[in-house]
Amino acid sequence: MKNIDVAVIMAGGKGSRLLSITNDEIPKPMVPVDGKPLLEYQVEKLKAYGIKKIVMIVGHLGEKIVDHFKDGKDFGVEIDYIFENEPLGTAGAFYYLKDKTDAKDFMLIFGDVFFDMDFDRMEDFHFKNSALTTLLAHPNGHPYDSDLIQTDDTGRVIGFDSKHNVRDYWYDNMVNAGIYIINKRLLDLVKEPVKTDFEKDILANQVKLGANIYAYHTPEYVKDVGTVDRIKATVEELKSGLIQSKNLKNKQRAVFIDRDGTMNVSKGFISKADDLELIPGTIDAIKAINKSGALAIVITNQPVIARGECSFEELHNIHNKLKTLLGEKGAFVDDIFYCPHHPDKGFEGEVPELKFDCECRKPKTGMIEEAVKKYNIDLSKSYMVGDSTMDLETARNAGIKSVLVDTGFAGNDGKYDRSCDIEADNLLDAVEKIIKDFR
């Protein structure tokens, strides 16, 4: 990291869901993951990105953390400690943190998170947006019982959606992962050492006041390992190499997926969430991509925006329905890129500023190029799946392999060359064939 060399780890907590492993004899952040304490993994990863000083906020059995790490020299860093004599929540100890560091910006990491990610990218995002706080956000396979973040198109946080809310609406799969970059000015908001919730008592209020709070979206491996089952899954993924491979310093495989007619039933261009109906097998297909370690990225032309037939707000609602339906069954897309433009004029209610020949509308490759830059994608190992010859032409223009699904629309539209690398009955069939090729 270029500008940040200090990290704070919230290393308190009893870990009641891990008692079968800890026997209440070791603190939660010291739970072994494949034979090594979780906290040691965190220290190693932070050190690898140039973190020189770490402040650990410890509580229950905190002396065992101190006994293990001491001053940090044996681990190549400097470690200091803040002891909570009574639980202060996720931000109460910030009161004491003011005197522990002079750094203008620092990392904050929850001690129950296993991660392998490119912190340089998150740091660049933080300073580009002059953020007071940047939260790391990602999709997961259980958004229905997770605290979610609401953002605008720039990543600026506009609200928080508690897992305790009654969600009678479609929602974005944008989960707060427990990793932050914080400007020291935020510490001044904690006036006394009392129990304080970082998200509810500080960040939510700052969002309401219009502060620069941003969410950095990443598909990298960041997982709360606060249960026995999650630790077991993490060990398996660590041994398989999946965790390391998802670090965005490494080139990524991606499956680019057309939306209408490929994921959802083709009804022309839909303009409201009620019209989104997933094709059978779509959820299982996305779950298979997730399990493979490849990125699942939707690439879709949405000229209904330029035509004035659908608002940006309603398009986001349509996509939130897609994410909600997937998340209810343990699947997620890593991102959705859409083109709102349309070159032809003459539609009633059209939006003039969106009526032009752009570089993102398929079969041009602007959306794919944006995804490549954002996620370090290796196009030579990636695929484009669609139901039309336009999707095949997009794949050829981008230099990636193409898959045509026979879901009843435009495989025979005749506008572009119909030749492709793979033909499939539907998205699930396509993904099964792609994964065989991955192997």
Note if 260 is an active site residue.
yes
CB 286 within 8 A of CB 327: no
Write b or e for each residue in 16-44: b if 16 or more Cβ atoms lie within 10 A of its Cβ, otherwise e. eebeeebeeebbbbbbebeeebbbbbbbe
∠ CA(154), CA(160), CA(166), 5° rounding?
A: 130
In angstroms, what CA-CA distances link 386 with 165, 256, 280? 36, 9, 15
Cis peptide preceding 363, ω within 30 of 0: yes
Select which of 105, 112, 172, 258 is catalytic.
Answer: 258
How far is residue 217's CA from residue 80's CA, in Å, rounded to a whole number? 30
Burial of 210 (0-12, 13-18, 19+ CB in 10 A): exposed
Note if 80 is an active site residue.
no
How far is residue 212's CA from residue 156's CA, in Å, rounded to a whole number? 7
How far is residue 225's CA from residue 39's CA, in Å, rounded to a whole number? 12
340: Cα separation from own chain's centroid: 23
CB 121 within 8 A of CB 75: no
How far is residue 72's CA from residue 22's CA, in Å, rounded to a whole number? 23
Select which of 112, 260, 387, 391 is catalytic.
Answer: 260
C-alpha neighbours within 13 Å on the C-beta side of residue 47: 14
Which of 120, 139, 81 has the alpha carbon at shortest distance from 326? 139
Q: Which residues are catalytic?
A: 258, 260
